[in-house]
Amino acid sequence: MPSAMEGSEGGEEGEILRYEETEDDNVSPTDLSELLKEGTKESHDRAENTQFVKDFLKGRIKKELFKLATVALYFTYSALEEEMDRNKDNQVFAPLYFPLELHRREALVKDLKYFYGEDWKEKIQCSEATQHYVDRIHHVGQHEPELLVAHAYTRYMGDLSGGQVLKKVAQRALKLPSTDEGIQFYMFDNISNAQQFKQLYRARMNALDLDKNTKERVVEEANRAFRFNMQV
């Protein structure tokens, strides 16, 4: 499953798996956004070099495989957004609750209807690898909600950057309609400026009241999230 991490759109076959596009003079090395950036670099490199991502970026993506990736994303985001809803008033996550701007489940339902038809629910199933990812998200949301930020950060921040490159590649390679059917997942209609939103999101992350040990656990969980994405 493509974990569409942040990056520049300068070259679709070059590096896209980068979260930080601009330097912010106001951040400290102990800020969560900086710890995540530094602490997940190795995972970024590994994710960016998976065969699936390399083939995807070169436009070598089969529709059946893209459909299966969309199914995996549906189960993943359904779990993630269920746990985010559960913790929307929990102080360890509440500042990062942006359902209108970020939530992807309804967009993925539209994509699944496009690819599988109105009876899409009967035609899809959760793979074993995706189920492991889903189970971990539910565990975190219900037992360690302070780690939920790791999963939200790993997915949404990437969807707003590298995901926009993947959208163009998929649309062209799969000859999808110019009216954006099949790629609603990549459309963020309620975010007018992705770069500004990501800066706001990182500022909110850095303002979370987390001690040093908890921040380290968040970084560890983000690396775990990368591994789940690569396994899927």
Residues at the binding site are 37, 44, 153, 202
Whole-angstrom distance, CA of residue 14 vs CA of residue 94: 35
- Nearest Cα to 183, choosing from 100, 69, 77, 48? 69
Cβ(5)–Cβ(18) below 8 Å: yes
Cβ(81)–Cβ(6) below 8 Å: no
Phi/psi of residue 35, each to 5°? Answer: -60, -40
Dihedral sign for Cα 220, 227, 190, 108, please: negative
Cβ(148)–Cβ(90) below 8 Å: no
- Identity at 78, one-letter amino acid code: S
- Nearest Cα to 208, choosing from 32, 25, 84? 32
Annotated binding residues for heme b, as ranges? Answer: 37, 44, 153, 202
Cα 6 → chain centroid: 10
Element (H, E) at 83: helix 63-86
Whole-angstrom distance, CA of residue 46 vs CA of residue 160: 20
